[in-house]
Chains A and B, each alone.
Chain A
């Protein structure tokens, strides 16, 4: 990690608690690079997180950080943003936190188009609490609470945010940090609710339970094409990764949608925001 990015860490907290090879670390690494490029220090940046492995990362970043209750990162962040509109507010949440426990808050933050950035780490499971089934777990995938394979369809987080009215929606992957960097830059530039879904990996639970390997093996599954998946499956019939691999590759990445309708702060005419009618 570059010196400027490293300077944004709370060094005394390192090393972080994430498991070896956890994709969240890569996403955090990318976030820090983007932040270091934009800011000399993070005194005017607030990082708000809920509960979970991904939410845990804000504790390692030397910004104004708020570790809140499960699923409620966006509600705390909305309050903070309205009280202190001059702050750059970034919400860090996971799929369990942001879509399961706090799915309701996500759709309403998107509907209001409040000017903050929400980065949702999607590792298709609840990591910190023991690898349970999440609303993002793909069909047939094994989790602690789906020992015979998941039978439910999964949420497409980016499509959900778009439908709920987020004015910026993007998606990235831990495996492609440069592309993710670009999406994050654009999201932070955007005025209004910007939502970025990042595909990452839980080596400890999702990777292990679905025989996807750890570290780089799991990371590389993010680049698998359908052909490669079917070839692997025919060569290793004992593997049962369900639709997981296909979903990873066929999901588009990059900026998926963007529009310039007025942000919530603008319709309220908050300090620093020119009043605009919705």
Chain B
């Protein structure tokens, strides 16, 4: 059943650099304009080179004076990246909807503990009644071009934001490159036929977290001077009740060896794990 053509509303498209966030905003704005609506659009980008947020905000109606979307009035969020989508929840209207790709792209800043592959991705297991997790990446692959994930989400949005399907297709035709149009139209259809594909997928493109360094302590040599406690950039060492150094979170060790080099009592040994040990840890052959 086709929803009613909206007379006013707003949409936020959120993602990271390179995902086509700005393009998707242009398509929606164009669609609204083609229905004689007044449109205001704002974009936040420029941090995209560093894996930072990119967003586009579109407001439309008979007459729009201001681009700002007030708290509690945001109608639709198209999230091209899971965490970027969830950032907008505070603005969402009670009946608003979030279509969030379950794809997760790790921003550099999320690599808090600086162990390669060790990540701290927020909201990994998040559920919210107004958030729909869409496996846009798989659907885009099915459409024949992984870059059409954003259009999958536009397809999903089109089932709620009731402009005529033909108008959506025309708008797409005006904005996507000609040779990719076919795949984009397929992606749009797949998005329309979308089903909520929660739960979110496991982390995208990040190796599993593994301790690559083992911290060994020559207990009888440690004199509890606390130099290691103060110099470790990862704050791994602590003194126990007997004033002996103990590694509290050895898996966070980056192998910088500062503790080893500054221990006056040679008590610390930072051992790089051999490949074979890693295989063993991973339960491999």
Contact = CB atoms under 8 A, between A and B. Distances in A.
A29 B231 contact: no
A215 B225 CA distance: 5
A220 B218 CA distance: 24
Contacts of B263: 1, 25-26, 29
Interface in B228-285: 229-231, 260-266, 268-269
Contacts of A25: 263-266
A214 B225 contact: yes
A29 B230 contact: no
Interface string A64-85: 0000000000000000000000
B221 interface: yes
Contacts of B230: 215-216, 220
Given A1-B269, A15-B220, A216-B231, A21 B225 contact: yes
* Most A CB within 10 A of own CB, among B221, B231, B261, B268: B261
Contacts of B226: 21, 215-216
A178 interface: yes
Interface residues of A, number: 33
B33 interface: no
Interface string A182-226: 000000000000000000000100000000001110011000000
B225 A16 contact: no
B265 A16 contact: yes
Interface string A1-21: 111011001000011101111
Contact of B227 (A24, A33, A178, A219): A219
A199 to B, nearest CB: 14
A214 B224 CA distance: 11
Q: How large is the interface on B (under 10, 10 to 19, 20 to 34, 35 or more residues)?
A: 20 to 34
Nearest to A181: B261
* Most A CB within 10 A of own CB, among B221, B223, B226: B223
Contacts of B268: 1
A217 B98 CA distance: 52
A26 B229 CA distance: 15
A177 interface: yes
A22 interface: yes
A24 B221 contact: no
A214 B227 CA distance: 9
Nearest to A19: B223
Nearest to A214: B225
Given A1-B260, A15-B221, A216 B227 contact: yes
B227 A29 contact: no
B231 A24 contact: no
Given A1-B269, A21-B227, A216-B231, A26 B221 contact: no
A189 to B, nearest CB: 21
A175 B262 CA distance: 8
B221 A14 contact: yes
A269 to B, nearest CB: 41
Nearest to B266: A1
B266 A6 contact: yes
Contacts of A26: 261-264
A125 interface: no
A32 B265 CA distance: 12
Nearest to B261: A177
Contacts of A30: 261
Given A177-B262, A178-B261, A20 B269 contact: no
A23 interface: yes
Interface string B106-120: 000000000000000
Nearest to A32: B266
Contacts of B264: 18, 20-26, 28-29
A214 B264 CA distance: 13
Contacts of B269: 1-3, 6
A1 B221 CA distance: 12
A107 to B, nearest CB: 30
Contacts of A22: 264
A103 B119 CA distance: 57
Contacts of B231: 216
Contacts of B224: 20
A26 B223 CA distance: 13
Interface of A: 1-3, 5-6, 9, 14-16, 18-26, 28-30, 32-33, 174-175, 177-178, 203, 214-216, 219-220
20 contacts: A6-B266, A6-B269, A14-B218, A14-B266, A15-B265, A19-B223, A20-B225, A21-B225, A21-B264, A23-B264, A26-B264, A29-B261, A29-B262, A29-B264, A174-B262, A175-B262, A178-B261, A203-B225, A216-B229, A216-B231
Across chains A and B, which 6 residue pairs bring their CB atoms closest together, nearest first?
A25-B264, A21-B225, A216-B230, A20-B223, A1-B266, A20-B225
Given A16-B265, A23-B264, A29-B264, 20 more contacts: A2-B269, A14-B221, A15-B221, A20-B223, A20-B264, A25-B263, A25-B264, A25-B265, A29-B262, A33-B261, A174-B262, A177-B261, A214-B225, A215-B225, A215-B226, A216-B225, A216-B227, A216-B230, A216-B231, A219-B227
